[in-house]
Each structure stands twice: as C-alpha cells, then as structure tokens.
Amino acid sequence: MNWGNLTLRQYKDISKILESEKSETIKAREMLRYLYGDRYDGMSDLLVLSLFNREFGFLLEMPTDSQLSRIKKIDTFKEYKINYNIDSLSVVQFIDICNYAKVDDKIDRIAATLSALFIPDGKEYNDGYSPTDVINDMWEIPAMQAFAIYGHIYNDMLKQLREGFPTVFGYEDENDDMQEERGYEESALKPYGFLPYMMAVAKETNEKYTDIYKWAIPHFCYVVSYLIAKAKEDEKQRRKWKKTH
C-alpha cells in the first residue's frame, strides 16, 4: 500500500481510524482489518505494530505541494471528460466550487470540488445526470491524484482567475502576502457577493440568468470588472458635479 494506490475513499476511512482516541495497537488492528479482512487477527500485538509501520508508514507524512505539482493529472477517468482549463470553466461550475468550499470536512470537500470538473461523456454540466453519482465516483480516484487536482483548482485555476480580476474579488488593495494569508478557498466573490454581480450583468447585457450561467467564468469576470470600473467612474463624476452645483 502507498499513496499511489490508496483511493480517496480509503484515505477517508483510514483517517477516521487514525484520528480516533484508541490505543495505537487497536488502531493498527482496525487498519489491517479494514484493508485485509481477518487475515492478521491472530497476530501478536508486536507483529501487528511492525506490520502496520511497514504497510502504512507513508501515511505519517502527507505529500508536499512540490510532490503534488509533479503528479500527472488524470486524462481519462471512467466515462468522464475533465476540464482543467480556467478559460472554459463555466459560471455555474465556479459557483459550485465556491459552494463546495463551505463543506466542513476537508476530504468530503475534495470529492465534491473535483466533481465540478468531471462531466459524463455526452452531457453538459449538471444536465441529464446526477451530481451525487459523480461525487460518489470521485471517491475511487487515487488520493494523491485527488489532492493534486484539488491543488490545481485552487493554486492554478482559481488563483489565475482572481489575480487576473482583482477588482472583482476585492484583492486590488492587497499585496501577495495578504492574499496568501487570506487563502483561495473562499466561498464568494468579493466585495459584493455573487448574486448582485449576476443581477448587474443580466441588466447590462439583457441576458437570462440561465444563459449567463453557461458563460466562461473569465468572460463573466471581465464584464463584472467593466461594470465596477464604470460604477466608480460614474460615482467620481457624480461627486465632481455635486461640488460644482
């Protein structure tokens, strides 16, 4: 057993065992029983602990960001097409990722977030299939690859988006250290929230919400940044006019 063949579901189940307040021997036995059934039930405590350290020692050290960045992302998985390109990420996919960021359990959050990138072949996002079924399939992805994809979403895709449109996300007055401290796992656009932006874009473009949801998120952010700049300029001109009248 190693990070390469441990699935996300197995990692979640094993984490529950490791985080329990039981003795190390009991946890070692439960881990072995979880993966191998009753094969080692009659083994002495000393041998159980020795086997546990040999089989699961890799769990004592999480993969580093450097290690994860070198992992080749999944090109194919079951019958899904996978989108790693921020330029083709839709508004509704972005909204779902933001909502999944609110999930308290980190491993559950990873599985849910990945489901926003995995679309069944021949389908449009969230159309004609059950999102719950996709999330269930995410549990079968090797844990290391799941961590790598999750890191790519936040450290590459969304970071690129937020740095490209700082006024949309409320980062225009923050330096790099402040942004790093804040982190990228935030659940809403800043500073006004998502719904007001949707309303403003719909009013400006005369588009229906259902159509805007299908836009690529960079295009949506481009329109929002234009509206923010326009609103600031209008306010500037209003104040200027007020001073002279």
What digits encode the pLDDT tens for the residues 21-62?
A: 899 888 888 888 888 888 888 888 888 888 888 877 777 777
When pLDDT is averaged across residues 196-211 and rounded to a whole number, the result is 90
Which of 63-67, 191-195, 208-212 is the most confident on average? 208-212
Q: Rounded to the nearest 5°, which phi and psi values hold at 157?
A: -60, -60
pLDDT score for 186: 45
How many Cβ atoms are within 10 Å of 130's Cβ, its own excluded? 10
**SS3 for 217?**
helix
Percent of the chain with pLDDT over 70: 88
Q: Which burial class, exposed, middle or buried, applies to 192 when counting CB atoms under 10 A from its CB (0-12, 13-18, 19+)?
A: middle
Instruction: State in Å, rounded, how far the first CA of the chain is from the last one.
Output: 77
The amino acid sitting at 160 is Q
What does the domain layout of the chain look like in residue ranges?
A: 8-61, 70-245
Average pLDDT over the chain, rounded to an integer: 83
The Cα–Cα gap between 37 and 186 comes to: 41
| pLDDT tens column, 204-218 | 999 998 899 999 999
Where do runs of H (alpha helix) occur along the chain? 8-19, 24-36, 45-56, 65-69, 91-100, 106-114, 131-138, 143-152, 159-164, 166-169, 176-182, 194-205, 209-212, 217-244
The Cα–Cα gap between 14 and 232 comes to: 52
Tokens of 159: 């970071």
| pLDDT tens column, 137-183 | 999 998 988 998 998 888 888 888 888 888 887 765 544 444 444 44
